[in-house]
Chain A
Amino acid sequence: MVQPLNYLRETASQTAGLYVHIGLIPKQVGFDIFENQLGETMVTPQTKGERITIEGRVFDATGTPLCDVLLEIWQANAEGRYNHPEDNQDKPVDPDFRGWGRIGSHFDTGVYRFETIKPGVVRGRNARAMAPHINFWIVARGINIGLNTRMYFSDETEANAKDPVLNLIELKKRRQTLIADRQERDGEVVYTFDIHLQGDQETVFFDI
């Protein structure tokens, strides 16, 4: 026998299930219970940075969009600073930007949409700059443990080419699954970021 290590063990993940909306985004099911639905609005008129819309769908192995998926995003502000006490980069916090949003895909179309700002460059490990990116967390019925991935920006070709995380992906063609395409639509900047849970176009997911 050796001494026990005495660490506690993690609580096991379970699926968010079919009824995740009543817990996390009750307004989507017409359920007016909280005065303030968290994560609904990311940007106010005072928030600094370029306004962008991110939209897309999450597809299953058959190419069918999920109409019951919930997505959260977490991102740095326009200067590349996270609104968190442990971010010690020498950059200002934007008091009008938490950097976190939450949305469910549309019950009929499966489209999700975030209105946010484009983040700046964040310092990565070993002081290597990470290209602007947005962290995604995806849960739904049939997903046993939340999926982590990142969205990068198609107009950041140079920064993406040097990004230490994208460069870890051995199959170069799979890097494309993380790059959202920029378009201008009626004067608004829209990035399309589709996520594929399985199949030839499967998105790169991370074990963080």
Chain B
Amino acid sequence: MEPKGEYYQLDRLLHPPALAPNYKTDVTRSYKYALLSLQNSLSEMTGPVFGHNELGPLDNDLIRNYAKDGDPIGQRIIVHGRVLDENGRPVPNTLLEFWQANAGGRYRHEKDTYLAPIDPNFGGCGRTLTNEDGYYFFRTIKSGSYPRRNFVNNWRPADIHFSIFGPAFAQRLIAQMYFEGDPLIWSCPIVRAIPDDEAIRALIVPLDMNATVPLDCRAYKFDIVLRGRRSTMFENRLEGN
């Protein structure tokens, strides 16, 4: 296959900067020198490819993938949507991984010491590949909010963390999804590290009644947009003239 066009530059005015000092952990972990701007080479335009045979049959069902003696506690939900690029083209066969707290706001992680209990039937992680239309779905329990030591009284909105690949290593992304109506979203310093309110709203997912399974499971729709790529004939040639 011939290389396709180069990727549009990352929109550094949309993404959070390295230092958003209200998120205190940034202060010692943010670079101070300017980033070196690099045009695409094969190193940035390629990336790992994953296959269905690498995933297990329950990897996209967080209600069942760690259940020991029953279903986990909480509100049953489906999360679904498409992975697209900035041109609106679907990103097919790409790996999505997701992790979250349980319904009480507790992660199954040794560093999480919050008072809310671990749910013996809930792991809180899963993964799936998008289909040829860029579509994905998984089933889980709605996560709960949880406190953290940033400001004295600081709660994270209920969230689900996403890791997304895309075909190029330059598209590698971690994002978080928040739920419509959560009053904690706009007071969270991690959310507000994003300087662009429209970009924050794009992380807040609506209830999707059409995808709800009646008498069983509600649904939320989260579309994810990765960097697009050029398709005109007049671009720089990677290989020279």
Q: How far is the CB of B193 from chain A (nearest CB, A)?
A: 5
Give per-residue flags for A4-36: 1 if the beta carbon is below 8 A from chain B beta carbons, else 0: 001111111111111111111010011101111
**Chain B residues whose CB sits within 8 angstroms of the CB of A78 once the complex forms:** none
Task: Report the stretch among A47-55, A186-194, A196-204 that lies at the interface.
Answer: A196-204
A118 at the interface (CB under 8 A from B): no
Contact of B173 among A11, A61, A84, A123 (CB under 8 A): A11
B76 at the interface (CB under 8 A from A): no
**Chain B residues whose CB sits within 8 angstroms of the CB of A72 once the complex forms:** 172
Q: How far is the CB of A95 from chain B (nearest CB, A)?
A: 12
**Chain A residues whose CB sits within 8 angstroms of the CB of B198 once the complex forms:** 9
B25 at the interface (CB under 8 A from A): yes
- Whether the pair A87, B86 counts as a contact (CB closer than 8 A) is no
Minimal Cβ-Cβ distance residue in A for B173: A13
Chain B at the A interface: mostly helix, strand, loop or mixed? loop
Q: Which of A19, A72, A130 neighbours the largest number of chain B CB atoms within 10 Å of its CB?
A: A19
Q: How far is the CA of A7 from the CA of B43 in the complex (A)?
A: 26
Q: How far is the CB of B198 from chain A (nearest CB, A)?
A: 7
Minimal Cβ-Cβ distance residue in A for B34: A207
Q: How many residues of chain A have a CB within 8 Å of chain B?
A: 83
**Chain B residues whose CB sits within 8 angstroms of the CB of A98 once the complex forms:** 48-49
Q: How far is the CA of A148 from the CA of B43 in the complex (A)?
A: 11
Q: How far is the CB of B20 from chain A (nearest CB, A)?
A: 6
Q: How far is the CB of B187 from chain A (nearest CB, A)?
A: 16
Using known A-B contacts A8-B225, A206-B35, determine if residue A20 contacts B111 with beta carbons closer than 8 Å: no
Q: Identify the B interface with A (CB < 8 A).
A: 1-4, 9-12, 14-18, 20, 23, 25-33, 35-50, 54-56, 59, 65-66, 84-88, 95, 97-99, 101, 107-112, 123-125, 127, 161, 163-164, 167, 169-170, 172-176, 190-191, 193-194, 196, 198-200, 202-203, 224-228, 236-240
Q: Identify the A interface with B (CB < 8 A).
A: 6-24, 26, 29-31, 33-36, 38, 60-62, 64, 66, 68, 72, 74, 76, 82-89, 98-100, 122-127, 130, 133, 135, 137, 139-148, 150, 165, 168-169, 174, 197-199, 202-208
14 contacts between A and B (CB under 8 A): A7-B88, A11-B175, A17-B176, A36-B54, A86-B2, A125-B40, A130-B43, A144-B17, A144-B20, A147-B31, A199-B32, A202-B32, A202-B33, A204-B36
